[in-house]
């Protein structure tokens, strides 16, 4: 059974932090490039961050550089997005993704095969 289950979203004040998690089962994350993308109301999908499987090269959208960190825990087959210094414009549904071996320089997996159900992140005072 293939599963890719997200957790960790919620409501946070500006300047606060959240950590999103995606736990995979039925496939091995270490084989793939992994990433996070988001969709704000009225907007198209936007790449946030990605790690290539070949050499571990990371990519971040300009809007999140210095604030967000992507990571993976191969022992637990889980990926994470640590989000610090959150801003209202970070409000969106966030999705994890995996596939292929490579990332675009805008923070998306180039050939997505798996993605999570999405988790809402709301940044508001």
pLDDT per residue as tens digits for the range 60-71: 999 999 999 999
pLDDT per residue as tens digits for the range 74-105: 999 999 999 999 999 999 999 999 999 999 99
Look at residue 1 and tell me whether its pLDDT is greater than 90: no
Look at residue 54 and tell me whether its pLDDT is greater than 90: no
pLDDT per residue as tens digits for the range 21-39: 999 999 999 999 999 999 9
The two structure tokens encoding residue 56:
């571990």
Distance separating alpha carbons of residues 96 and 90, to the nearest angstrom: 16
What pLDDT score was predicted for residue 26?
A: 94
Distance separating alpha carbons of residues 90 and 92, to the nearest angstrom: 6
User: How many residues can be counted in the chain?
Assistant: 125
Look at residue 14 and tell me whether its pLDDT is greater than 90: yes
What pLDDT score was predicted for residue 50?
A: 97
- Beta bridge partners, 22, equal 6, 79
Contact 54, 34 (CB under 8 A): no
Distance separating alpha carbons of residues 117 and 65, to the nearest angstrom: 24
């Amino acid at each position: 059974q293939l599963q890719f289950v997200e957790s960790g979203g919620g409501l946070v004040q500006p300047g606060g932090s959240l950590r999103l998690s995606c736990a995979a089962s039925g496939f091995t994350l270490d084989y793939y490039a992994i990433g996070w993308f988001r969709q704000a109301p009225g907007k198209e999908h936007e790449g946030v961050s990605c790690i290539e499987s070949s050499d571990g090269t990371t990519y971040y959208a300009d809007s999140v550089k210095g604030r967000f960190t992507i990571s993976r825990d191969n022992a637990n087959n889980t990926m994470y997005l640590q989000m610090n210094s959150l801003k209202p414009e970070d409000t969106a549904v966030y999705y994890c993704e995996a596939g292929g071996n490579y990332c675009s320089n805008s923070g998306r997996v180039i050939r997505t095969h798996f993605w999570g159900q999405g988790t809402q992140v709301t940044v508001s005072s």
